[in-house]
């Protein structure tokens, strides 16, 4: 089979890999949809040879198939996999990490935090941008019947990450939330926060992305590069600042803006990957009794809960996707995504 590989320096290679066969406890999926996530841009933009280690999640020995939002059907089952774990034809998402299975983090479904280190599919282990993908049966999360494979792909990282963050900060219909960055994670957060009843204020430098956020229910949108963005946010919240602020931009400016726009006793959540931030601690945190939370993806249980939430409310997650690609078009797909003005892309097999 052919798989999409990040070769570094914004190069994509379609490489040949042997078709995987399931070992004990494993299954092979026939991929149906494999999403493009903002965190792909780290390995995509990395120097030659640095792609698998770009996010500080370990490194791979050789080239790996990209794609950490895998969704498909079970096509082959290895020894020792029970029917209640997987049957041929099951529609499934993958929780895209493998840990030791025994430490407290693995036992509670947070295998990405495994004490022995984890494999991250699409980064340090073969991911979903190929016809087939081999994973332990324990990584499978059922895809509800009413959800499409593309929605399942989104839930497998970007949308699931947005859901996990909103749950971490206990968002409710009482809240006004500002969301810095309206890429796939930020836009999902806008859509889900609306479904949870909150007022959403969306920020992004791209006018296309701001327009999409408003179409998804944001009551206002702002360009964060403006001189008085924080004052504009205060003006939209009767001078108080927002109850909750989420940074999905991964930029120092977005994080700082999130901290400064939160009200007294407010909560800030950092979701965007990489880089740093400078905070003037006394005025920006202490005097406001601020809470800052970091949120990294979700557990296997959280992924299933996110899928259920979306299925029960009929949320149009597929509207996130502006581009549907074949694997042959991977170079063009990532070139467009790299500009960070489009919506979400997905490979269909």
Which residues bind to Zn ion, rule: CB under 5 A? 37, 39, 99-100, 103, 106, 114, 157
Q: Which is nearer to Zn ion, 123 or 290 (CB)?
A: 123
Q: Which residue has the tokens 């949320």?
A: 315
| Alpha-carbon dihedral sign for residues 153, 3, 36, 253 | positive
Q: Which is nearer to Zn ion, 42 or 241 (CB)?
A: 42
* Other beta carbons less than 10 A from residue 16's beta carbon: 7
Smallest gap from residue 96 Cβ to Zn ion (A): 8
The rounded Cα 341 to chain-centroid distance in angstroms is 17
Smallest gap from residue 32 Cβ to Zn ion (A): 18
Q: Which is nearer to Zn ion, 114 or 269 (CB)?
A: 114
Smallest gap from residue 121 Cβ to Zn ion (A): 11
Smallest gap from residue 47 Cβ to Zn ion (A): 21
| Alpha-carbon dihedral sign for residues 223, 225, 229, 230 | positive
Residues 6+ apart with CB under 8 A from 192: 159, 162, 163, 166, 309, 315
Q: Which is nearer to Zn ion, 22 or 122 (CB)?
A: 122
Q: Which is nearer to Zn ion, 241 or 272 (CB)?
A: 272
Q: Which is nearer to Zn ion, 106 or 342 (CB)?
A: 106
Contact 131, 265 (CB under 8 A): no
Helix (H) or strand (E) run with residue 331 in it: helix 330-338
Smallest gap from residue 156 Cβ to Zn ion (A): 8
Contact 217, 232 (CB under 8 A): no
Smallest gap from residue 117 Cβ to Zn ion (A): 8
* Burial grade of 244 (CB within 10 A; 0-12, 13-18, 19 or more): buried
């Amino acid at each position: 089979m052919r798989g999409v590989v990040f070769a570094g320096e914004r190069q994509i290679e379609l490489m040949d890999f042997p078709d995987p066969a399931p070992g004990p406890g494993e299954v092979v999926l026939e991929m149906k949809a494999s999403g493009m996530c903002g965190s792909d841009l780290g390995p995509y933009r990395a120097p030659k040879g640095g792609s698998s280690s770009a996010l500080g999640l370990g490194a791979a020995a050789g080239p790996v198939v990209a794609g950490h939002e895998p969704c498909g059907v079970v096509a082959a089952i290895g020894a020792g996999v029970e029917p209640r774990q997987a049957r041929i034809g099951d529609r499934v998402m993958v929780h895209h990490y493998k840990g030791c299975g025994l430490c407290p983090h693995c036992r509670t479904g947070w295998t990405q935090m495994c004490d022995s280190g984890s494999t991250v599919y699409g980064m340090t282990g073969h991911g979903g941008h190929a016809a087939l993908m081999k994973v332990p049966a324990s990584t499978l999360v059922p895809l509800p019947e009413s959800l499409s494979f593309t929605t399942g792909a989104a839930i497998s990282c970007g949308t699931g990450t947005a859901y996990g963050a909103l749950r971490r900060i206990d968002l409710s219909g009482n809240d006004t939330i500002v969301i810095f960055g309206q890429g796939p994670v930020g836009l999902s957060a806008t859509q889900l926060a609306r479904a949870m009843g909150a007022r959403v204020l969306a920020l992004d430098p791209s006018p296309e992305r701001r327009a999409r956020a408003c179409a998804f229910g944001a009551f206002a949108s702002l360009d964060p590069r403006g001189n008085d963005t924080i004052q504009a946010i205060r003006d939209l919240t009767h001078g108080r600042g927002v109850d909750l602020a989420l940074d999905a931009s991964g930029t120092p400016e977005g994080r700082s803006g999130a901290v400064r726009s939160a009200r007294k006793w407010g909560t800030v959540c950092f979701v965007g990957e990489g880089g740093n931030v400078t905070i003037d601690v006394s005025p920006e945190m202490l005097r406001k009794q601020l809470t800052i939370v970091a949120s990294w993806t979700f557990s296997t249980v959280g992924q299933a809960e996110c899928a259920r939430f979306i299925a029960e409310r009929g949320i149009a997650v597929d509207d996130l996707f502006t581009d549907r690609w074949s694997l042959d078009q991977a170079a063009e797909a990532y070139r467009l995504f790299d500009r960070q003005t489009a919506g979400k892309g997905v490979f269909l097999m």
